[in-house]
A and B are shown apart, each in its own frame.
Chain A
Amino acid sequence: MNLTYLNDLTVQVRRDILRMVHRVNSGHPGGSLGCTEFMVALYQELMEYSTDFTMDGHNEDLFFLSNGHISPVLYSILARSGYFDVAELATFRKINSRLQGHPTTHEHLPGVRIASGSLGQGLSVAIGAALSKKLNNDSKIVYSLHGDGEMQEGQNWEAIMYAGSKKVDNLIATVDLNGQQIDGSTANVMDLGDLGQKFEAFGWDVFHIKEGNKLEAIVEGMKQAKAKTGRQKPIAVILHTVMGNGVDFMMHTHAWHGKAPNDHQLATALAQNPETLGDY
């Protein structure tokens, strides 16, 4: 693991997120920043995949983003992992772009295999893809990411029950536990209780990554989780993160869930994250 490079990439992805949402004065920086380390670790250290993109993704690990509003971090890591030119990040949320506000297959952006945005649908899709891999005798893993607020959607619990009951053990679903959603803290809006215990009660193996914004901790935790695949249980990772991580005034609040920084705020945020690998 080249930690220097991964740290540089993390800072560069943060810059991409901030500049993308600022440019169109819309989008979701808070959750994107909170999951930046996770996405860097996933695409650089954990997943085995080909950037020669095919929808079927035979014999490669697959990733599904269920909380599609954090599209900025997905687009940035896909571009910087080689799926498409980083220059295309400048088209985010603009007319005629492949980088729609929420991710979609509709515009054929390499790296995206399902539309997401309407919440709570990604886990079912990930389970289906995992079942498809089993039918194909494909031993690779399916990863998915979900917001914690998103777990309020009932379809998730249908999917969690299914995967536990039917022993879908080639799946690692990660929940971004940042404790925030649009209307406030998850505790105030609709308390999720102990998510880990809930997954366990549905027959899942549960891992907690307490330092969910620390690259080494994420890589270590996810490798432990991966080592447990293939043992008759689906795997949940509860990723403890801070929304808005890396930009001091965006942290520990729900205020930046779906709000873009103004010019001054952007300058402040970028100053906290100096350019490393080159802006798009």
Chain B
Amino acid sequence: MKYIDQGQKDTRSGFGDGMTELGRTNPKVVALCADLIGSLKLETFIEEHPERFFQVGIAEANMIGIAAGLTIGGKIPFTTTFANFSTGRVYDQIRQSVAYSGKNVKICASHAGITLGEDGATHQILEDIGLMKMLPGMTVINPCDYNQTKAATLAIAEHDGPVYLRFGRPKVANFTPVDQTFTIGKALHLLEGTDVTIAATGHLVWEALIAAEALKEKGIYAEVINIHTIKPLDVEAILRSVEKTGCLVSAEEHNYLGGLGESIARTLTMHKPTPQEFIATKDTFGESGTPDQLMEKYQLNAPAIVEAAQKVIKRKA
């Protein structure tokens, strides 16, 4: 199967358009923002439902607490800001007032990872997946393109419990189906292959598909899995795939400590020890640059995946 880029779009616009739809279809959904309405693409939601939008100013801790309180009375609050300010800045508020309290809050984070670009490391969080997946009861989702982000936004409103939804700023390939159904925790097999499994999340899924094409030229058949839900992880999909391929490359725009790769490694260690290579940042902060420059410098692109795939294949017993 061949995946076609339907036109470059930012995943945050998928979120914004998902919110617009939720505004019209689910009266329980409310939105909060900490002074980043434009960045989170919330204009239409706010215009259509001003009474269901809460501007909290630059005060993220308060935003998380207010969201927790709004659930009491039956609202479904979506908090919105950059990923760094959605997680690290407010970890204890999320831990106590949302996760431990079991509140139905959707923490929606744009500008995740290194592709935020020129703003540099203060804004490029590469630790957020780890922070969020460690919280008991937290669902962690990192969709790959505009269409999938929109579908995920709609799906999390139907899920009862706290969710971390991570998406990004740059315009990237939009290649998954329009109006797809998003099933939380259910990985998607994008390509069938026999030689190596590439398990990718977020922006790295498209890179994995490009890598698979390049590998095919070399006579290597890669299986590509889109792990949009990092927690709960689709263990069965991963095990079924490595049963066939015998090795795996994980790929994510995140630190290799605490990310998707680590969750997969734990899964493989427990059920079926398998050689694995990690496409991820290697315990480092980011820096200023264009998204493409950064993805290349930090080895988060298709050529890096190709190299990792060839390396891991050689490690098969």
Whether, in the assembled complex, B288 has its beta carbon less than 8 Å from a beta carbon of chain A, the answer is no
Assembled-state Cα–Cα distance A124/B72 (Å): 13
Who on chain A is nearest to B77 by CB? A128
B54 within 8 A of A: yes
Interface presence of A125 (CB below 8 A): yes
Closest chain-B Cβ to A101's Cβ sits at a distance in Å of 13
Q: Which residues on the A side are within 8 Å of B54 (C-beta)?
A: 131, 166
Cα–Cα distance between A122 and B101 once the two chains are bound (Å): 12
- The answer on a CB contact under 8 Å between A123 and B65 is yes
Q: Contact size class for B?
A: 20 to 34
Most buried by B among A56, A104, A125, A131: A125
Does B273 sit within 8 A of A, measured CB to CB?
no
Q: Which of A124, A127, A154 has the most CB of B within 10 A?
A: A124
- Give the CA-CA distance A166 to B50 in the complex, in Å: 13
Closest Cβ of chain B to A172, distance in Å, is 15
| Pair A155/B93 contact, Cβ less than 8 Å | yes
- Asked if A126 meets B69 with Cβ closer than 8 Å, knowing A114-B101, A115-B100, A135-B51, the reply is yes
A105 on the B face (CB < 8 A): yes
Mark A109-150 against chain B: 1 for CB-CB distance below 8 A, else 0: 000011111100111111111111101101000000000000
A129 touches which one: B56, B59, B72, B92 (CB < 8 A)?
B72
Could you tell me if B57 and A128 are in contact, using CB atoms closer than 8 angstroms? no
Task: Tell me the residues in window 75-131 of chain A with beta carbons closer than 8 Å to chain B beta carbons.
Answer: 104-106, 113-118, 121-131
Cross-chain contact B59 with A132 (CB below 8 angstroms): no
A131 to B53, CA, bound (A): 11
Question: What residues on A are CB-neighbors of B312 within 8 Å?
Answer: none
Q: Closest approach, in angstroms, between the C-beta of B61 and any C-beta of chain A?
A: 4
Nearest 5 CB-CB pairings of A with B: A128-B69, A124-B65, A132-B73, A158-B62, A158-B59
11 contacts between A and B (CB under 8 A): A57-B72, A105-B101, A106-B101, A114-B101, A124-B61, A125-B69, A127-B66, A128-B71, A131-B70, A132-B73, A166-B54
Chain A residues near B (Cβ < 8 Å): 55-58, 62, 64, 104-106, 113-118, 121-133, 135-136, 138, 154-155, 158-159, 161-162, 165-166
